[in-house]
Amino acid sequence: MTGNTFGRVFRITTCGESYSGGFRKKQGMPEGLHGGLIAIVDGVPPGIKITAQMIQEELDKRKPGLSKLTTPRSEADMVFIFSGVMEDDLTTGAPVGLYIPNTDIEEVHIEQHRSNKDFIRPGQAAYTYYKKYGQFADWAGAGRASGRETAARVAGGAVAKAVLDTMGIDVIGYVVESHGIKAGHITYEMAKANYRKNEINCPDLEKAEEMIEDLLKVKASGDSCGGIIEVIAKGVPAGLGEPVFDKLSATIAHGLMSIGGVKGIEFGEGFELARKKGSESNDTPYFDKETGRIRFRTNRAGGVLGGISTGEEIRVRVAVKPTPTIMLEQETVNVSTLQNVTHRFTSRSDPSLCPRIYPVCEAMVRIAVLDAIYIANGYRSVVRNIDPRWEEL
């Protein structure tokens, strides 16, 4: 399996599966080493303070079993730093290694998945994994296709956050729509003020109550629903991103679209721009005497023009599909007998991915932005003398 690394200079590589370790309990390994998730973060500068608690705070945002809106799976999601950090919790410049053991992988849960392994789960990667890996595909909790895989991303994103914090760059994600219930326009200030004030993390507190009530009804029916996550990156400097194939919007989209369950993406006003005229779409520039820099009166482009950051806040939204595993009987195929059957899948799952997927979105945007900063600074170090006014505006 390839494709487990994201980023070019600041990079994260992950490994691990949903139930990894469940098959190694009887091999004499210490319990904490049965299996879990690992993230290796490359490109971390020396002298950055990183503690397990800092990473844990991010992991706790997506931790299962903490709310009536999420799966009952009860993972500790405790992170251990095993390399790249020494005295006084400061990084050395070496790769930062992170380990998150799987703790809730009892035999009863593995047997639930074993009993379902010959049935293609509608909406999941069971069929495509079978086509790629055949009989050896990981059938226990969907393996690398499980939402559990994202814990390693969040851990790596927490390292990126520690570096971005030193630059005054903030990335914040939240729910703006659930099952058709839409929040009003969310400003950065509103998002910060109401961040995680409710179980679904919607800054529109009134709409959040509607979303929660609706989601509990959907859960009680045995079904699931989707929604939309919005992410704002504040304080991102202008000039990040490479034209053509490595646009900043393209690398952010790559990171976000690599998250399981994400099915669509838009920057700024996104698809709404298709319904406007150019005079209604363009963001008008002006020279801001207070900052001495060029700014834009609107931000319909979402902070990116020509694939390069404008200096305005980057605003991106992703569409999240309903959780595929539902508690209802569905039509499917038994791959062993090649018979069309109906089957009810028994396993632990979230009625909506939205309450736990927003920190994963934050993590991927952080990694993409920090990687772009590394590349831009390398380029500038070579050509900064071409035009002395270049960086001033």
Other Cβ atoms within 10 Å of 184 Cβ, number = 11
Nearest one of 38, 21, 5 to 106, comparing CA atoms: 21
pLDDT, residue 126, reads 86
Token duo for residue 311: 């200096």
- State the greatest distance between any 2 C-alpha atoms of the chain, in Å, as a whole number: 73
Class of domain 5-268+303-383: alpha beta
What is the tens place of the pLDDT at every residue in 141-195?
778 888 889 999 999 999 999 999 999 999 999 999 999 999 999 999 999 999 9
What is the tens place of the pLDDT at every residue in 24-80?
666 666 766 778 899 999 999 999 999 999 999 999 999 877 778 877 766 778 999
Q: Which residues of the chain have pLDDT under 50?
A: none
Q: How far is CA 148 from CA 125, 138, 155, 328, in A?
A: 14, 14, 12, 22
pLDDT, residue 180, reads 97
Residue indicated by tokens 């595929």: 324
For residues 40 and 44, give the distance between their C-alpha atoms in angstroms, rounded to a whole number.
10
Token duo for residue 285: 């520039």
Residue 75 phi, psi dihedral angles, 5° rounding? -90, 140
pLDDT, residue 380, reads 82
Q: Which neighbouring-strand residues pair with 262? A: 320
Residue 246 phi, psi dihedral angles, 5° rounding? -115, 40
Token duo for residue 247: 């646009």
For residues 2 and 360, give the distance between their C-alpha atoms in angstroms, rounded to a whole number.
21
